[in-house]
Amino acid sequence: MITKDQKDNLFSLVKSLTKSEKRQFKLYVGRLGVNSDSKFLKLFNLLDKSKAYNEGAILKSGIVKKSQLANVKAHLYKQILISLKLNPSHQNVRLQIREQLDFASILYHKGLYKQSLKILDKAKELAIANEEKNSAFEIVELEKVIESQYITRSISTRADELAIQAKELSALNVIASKLSNLSLQLYSIILKTGYVRNEKEATILINYFNKRLPVTKNKKLGFREKLWLYKAHLWYSFLMQDFLNCYKYASKWVDLFYQNPSMINLNPVFFLKGNNYLLESIFFVRNKPKFVKKLEHFKATVNSPKFAKDENVATLIFLYSNFHNINQHFIDGSFEEGLELIPVIEKELIKFEDKIDPHHRLVFYYKFASLEFGAGNNKACIKHLDKIISNKTLSMREDLLCFSRVLNLVAHYEAGLDYHLETLLRSTYKFLIKMNELHEVQKEMIKFIRGLQDIYPQDLKNAFKKLHKTLVAFEDHPYERRAFLYLDIISWLESKIENKPVSEIINTKYLTKYAH
């Protein structure tokens, strides 16, 4: 199945440009001495005005022949990137170091060794100060090459100095590389399957993690190595559903940035992700006062004029702020209050359409559905869930796809749409069986809803009580409890037994158990 509106790379790049970036591009092209009739500039203007990429329209315009189009597009793409590189808003420490390294290489090839070494020394200082140790290692390697050809009196001590520096940087780069590989592999497991589901999976994960975790004792770890270390531990704790350790490592991650404020603007994406996981782990331990405090701190930091934003950063701020704006209403059952967020976020989602991947869009729909369900709006809940269930192209996050179907069944039952139940039960059961492993909570839910058609109305309350008794046993089970993170079935059953809205049940629990 072809996804709607497959984007052309060049067209997407042109459409991502801000007004100032377009102006800068035209100034840059002017400096190249290109006349306004040039093919690539005409193509740029045409794409800028177009609402969608249409090759037929480009060829019809007479700007280029079909045989020339690929070359002109490639040239335009390259020129836009060069122009963006020159744009002050894209200048950062990494680019400065890269540029200095390029200058030093040119001077070296011209035989101007002394000048080259001088530039490299400054660039190396900048790289080390900003935790750019891969670049620093590259600089030291070039310094070694130049020193071996440029004879100075201090060559013996200089050679030792550079050798030691190269060895230290190399050791730290190896640790960082191992930790970043481990984090990435654990993160891909999270995206693919979610939390560990049983003892067997837990054992595999524990062995996997311990085998790949590099020994960091007695090593002088810098900001970058600590960041990857905390990340690896965080993913591991999430997979194991050890939310207290999630909180511990997410706190370390975020505190690391606050202790090194210059790193916030240099690595804004890591800063944002750290805050996202910190808020998520507080959400899982259901501490609303701490959650609200951290969320406010996060928003204050990212909305401050000092916080640099590009399109990628702005998208992540939108995602994380809104995920957690919604989550705070799940903690204490204030669903009605949370409903106001849905139309606002839906409108914003259109604005970020090209920037948000299908997985995160799916998470929003599930959160919207859960808010509507909690507020008793079952038909609205079903409408949001349908966007997830009808998406046949998404293979990730089995857990979310699974709980969307279970919630869909419950919402249909609550909405009184009984005539759909038989078909729904069959398709849900078929889907769940296809999953690697069916959880006890899901099995019991399916069994219960399947039996609902044969229960007399006067016996319903007893049936709810029976299921409640069965499921409560799983509430603190290390692998079964994950079901309740997505869908608070226990509170729903209590609402049926006590004849109260589910929001009231959750709020009462929150006040007795979590409010401080």
Considering only residues 196 and 381, tell me which one the structure prediction assigns the higher pLDDT: 381
Q: Are residues 43 and 98 in the same domain?
A: no
Q: Confirm whether 353 is domain-assigned.
A: no
Residues 6+ apart with CB under 8 A from 90: 84, 310
Question: In the listed set 114, 133, 152, which residue is the last one of a domain according to the structure?
Answer: 152
Q: Are residues 102 and 66 in the same domain?
A: no
Q: Are residues 77 and 134 in the same domain?
A: no
Q: Confirm whether 405 is domain-assigned.
A: no
CA 2/CA 379 separation, integer angstroms: 30
Q: Supply the pLDDT for residue 5.
A: 42
Q: Confirm whether 75 is domain-assigned.
A: yes
Q: Are residues 23 and 79 in the same domain?
A: yes
CA 442/CA 334 separation, integer angstroms: 26
Total domain count, the chain: 2
- Give the angle 327-473-447 at the CA atoms, nearest 5°: 85
Considering only residues 51 and 439, tell me which one the structure prediction assigns the higher pLDDT: 51
CA 267/CA 222 separation, integer angstroms: 15
Q: Are residues 83 and 97 in the same domain?
A: no
The 10s digit of each residue's pLDDT in 11-24 is: 989 988 888 889 88
The 10s digit of each residue's pLDDT in 244-287 is: 999 999 999 999 999 999 889 888 999 999 999 999 999 988 88
pLDDT > 70? residue 65: yes
pLDDT > 70? residue 36: no
Q: Name the residue among 43, 40, 68, 38 with its Cα closest to residue 54.
A: 43
Average pLDDT over residues 129-135: 84
Q: Are residues 34 and 66 in the same domain?
A: yes
Average pLDDT over residues 94-102: 87
Q: Confirm whether 375 is domain-assigned.
A: no
Q: Confirm whether 450 is domain-assigned.
A: no
Residues 6+ apart with CB under 8 A from 12: 354
Q: Looking at beta carbons, which pairs linking 383-389 to residues 24 or more positions away fall under 8 Å?
A: 385/411, 387/362, 388/362
Question: In the listed set 90, 113, 143, which residue is the last one of a domain according to the structure?
Answer: 90
- Token couple for 406: 């279970």
pTM of the predicted model, to two decimals? 0.73
Cβ-contact 374, 503 below 8 angstroms = yes
Number of H helices, E strands in the chain: 27, 0
Which amino acid is present at 456?
Y
Q: Name the residue among 213, 199, 211, 287 with its Cα closest to residue 244.
A: 287
Average pLDDT over residues 455-480: 81
Question: In the listed set 50, 66, 90, which residue is the last one of a domain according to the structure?
Answer: 90
Residues 6+ apart with CB under 8 A from 181: 212
Q: Are residues 45 and 76 in the same domain?
A: yes
Q: Supply the pLDDT for residue 344.
A: 95
Q: Confirm whether 107 is domain-assigned.
A: yes
Q: Confirm whether 23 is domain-assigned.
A: yes
Domain that holds residue 103: 93-152
Q: Confirm whether 38 is domain-assigned.
A: yes
Q: Are residues 59 and 83 in the same domain?
A: yes
Residues 6+ apart with CB under 8 A from 206: 240
Q: Are residues 55 and 82 in the same domain?
A: yes
